[in-house]
Chains A and B, each alone.
Chain A
């Protein structure tokens, strides 16, 4: 640009406020988290350097490993629930059937409302005595199928997974739909001339065409599953007896309920590492295949 001296100052003025807030609130605290994770500290007294004690304690804690296990359950049920279902819906919606717009609108609705509202609605579905699910089972004469959906350790994490899938399918549906609509018409016409129709075409022509989107949705679904918090916090708070705790809940209750800031910070660093590692691996795999 014309006046270089003046533009240097302008660049600084333009970038500074955004950078200040962003670095100060979103980036620097990661470093502080790591620093706290090396401290034995309850927030009030003096910080005491503890080395990796918090990490050792975490790796020896059954509750921590239970939360990791629950995260993995949510990750897997998310992958096998959200993606195939979202893809199926997108394939059907891409056929230009009457009413497709309506189904898309309804399908995406849960994505728009807050997770808190999703949890509260599902809390009413799962309620043992008054809930929709148990009352429905009674209504159709399947009383023996009734369960304490959220308080029975056998069911609680699965119940949460179902609500989680319900909340997110619509997002994957529209992501797949956008990819399907980007496939050029000539591809479909050419494949038709070659006699590829129906399932065969879907499998050999359509899916390879949207492989990039498939990869993106897989990575997103995995990294998203490590960030679940609202849904579980509102539905069960991680209970009964830590049975539905995931890492984010474990971090929250250690830090803000038990006031163990040092230990909580160690857990939060693990959350960061987990998501970074998962995203890196997934990106690697995606690049190799592509």
Chain B
């Protein structure tokens, strides 16, 4: 890169710096105050804490049922993710590697889902789940999470598998392997890079989902993290530093996840947005 004028550099860093401050200050403020007592906070919301007060964390973990919410979010996120990626990969395999009459139609049908706002389906889904007595179970969330993310999953995986050369399956056929064997031991391993994108996308979307959980889950013991957290804050409106501790507990794992998988997350979510 060529040398930039110092004036430009100052200008650039001022804007970038302001932008970073806007993003970081609310987070730092939340984390710092979570270590204060309620009185300390009321006295001065900008001071540094005099000591590290962990009681908020103990209390948040205890009365907010954070452990339950984490376990629920974890199970629902991963079961949906595995089902979505497996069924999506299977569908993508047949859509990309076979010629059949309704191929184009089926593919277009899958893409249609990316245009549908989930809000247009919410009421029927609620009533269907009620009729099937699935309301307030893991299934009531796993089914819609799977259904609504199949479109993007199929789209990304189909595009990737389509790029393989035509004779990719030949060796499998020579060995007399069946179609599903070829899928499992030849195509799937080659699809790994696209699978990583799809897994990360499904993870983050499921982990953060709120609307379906709000409508389909009622018992406290089945709430996911976003739902449980928002309820908890709604109940503890007077307890500011306690809220901050609960939020920080939920914030840390997702930020660690982000920092570890930043590159894949950024490219994946950008691709997801463009296609969605």
By the criterion CB–CB under 8 Å, are B90 and A171 in contact?
Answer: no
Residue B150 contacts which of A18, A110, A261 (CB distance < 8 angstroms)?
A18
Considering only residues 108-167 of chain A, those with a C-beta below 8 Å from chain B are 108-117, 119-125, 127, 130, 132, 135-136, 139, 166
* A103-B19, A106-B20 as given contacts; A265 in contact with B91, CB under 8 Å: no
B20, A107: Cβ atoms under 8 Å?
Answer: yes
Q: Which residues of B contact A268 (CB under 8 A)?
A: 119-123
In the complex, residue of chain A having the shortest beta-carbon distance to the beta carbon of B38? A130
Contacts of B29 in A (CB 8 A): 132
For residue A119, which residues in chain B have a CB less than 8 angstroms away from its CB?
230
- A27 interfacial contact with B, CB 8 Å: yes
Contacts of B193 in A (CB 8 A): none
Interface: B135 (CB within 8 A): no
Task: Please indicate the chain B residues that have their CB under 8 angstroms from the CB of A111 in the complex.
Answer: 269
Complex partner residue of A103 from B16, B118, B226, B273, CB under 8 angstroms: B16
Interface residue from B106, B121, B210, B255 paired with A29 (Cβ < 8 Å):
B121
| Cα separation A14 to B154 with both chains bound (whole Å) | 13
Measured CB to CB, the nearest residue on chain B to A171 is B273
Number of A interface residues, CB 8 Å? 95
Once bound together, how far apart are the Cα atoms of A92 and B95, in whole Å? Answer: 42
Residues from chain A with Cβ under 8 Å of B214 in the complex:
233
B266 touches A108 (CB 8 A): yes
**Contact A116–B208 (Cβ < 8 Å):** yes
Contact B143 A25 (CB under 8 A): yes
**A18-B154, A261-B123 are known contacts. Are A97 and B88 too (CB-CB below 8 A)?**
no
Q: In whole angstroms, how far apart are the Cα atoms of A108 and B255 in the complex?
A: 11
- A242 interface hit (Cβ, 8 Å): no
- B contact patch SS: helix
- Check A113–B143 contact: CB distance below 8 A: no
Closest beta carbon of chain B to A128's beta carbon, Å: 12
Interface centre among B1, B24, B147 (most CB of A within 10 A): B147
Q: Given contacts A175-B274, A227-B117, are A121 and B30 in contact (CB under 8 A)?
A: yes
- Judge whether B46 and A139 touch: CB under 8 Å: yes
The answer to whether A113 touches B251 (Cβ under 8 A) is yes
Give residues 1-19 of A contacting B (CB, 8 Å).
1-2, 6-8, 10-11, 14-15, 17-19
**CA A124 to CA B226, docked complex, whole Å:** 16
Residues of B within 8 A of A2 (CB): 173
A88 touches B15 (CB 8 A): yes
Give every chain B residue within 8 A of A99 (Cβ-Cβ). Answer: 16
Smallest CB gap from A116: residue in B: B226
Are B120 and A106 in contact, with the CB atoms below 8 A?
Answer: no
- Is A226 interfacial (CB-CB < 8 Å)? yes
With known contacts A21-B143, A216-B274, A261–B127 Cβ distance under 8 A: yes
Chain A 227-258, CB-CB to B under 8 Å as 1, else 0, gives: 10110011000000000000110011001100
The 6 closest A-B pairs by CB, nearest first: A25-B147, A114-B208, A29-B124, A29-B121, A116-B226, A32-B124
Give chain A's interface residues, CB within 8 Å of chain B.
1-2, 6-8, 10-11, 14-15, 17-19, 21-30, 32-33, 36, 43, 85, 88-89, 92-93, 95-97, 99, 102-117, 119-125, 127, 130, 132, 135-136, 139, 166, 169-171, 174-175, 178, 216, 220, 226-227, 229-230, 233-234, 247-248, 251-252, 255-256, 261, 264-265, 268-269, 271-272, 275-276, 279
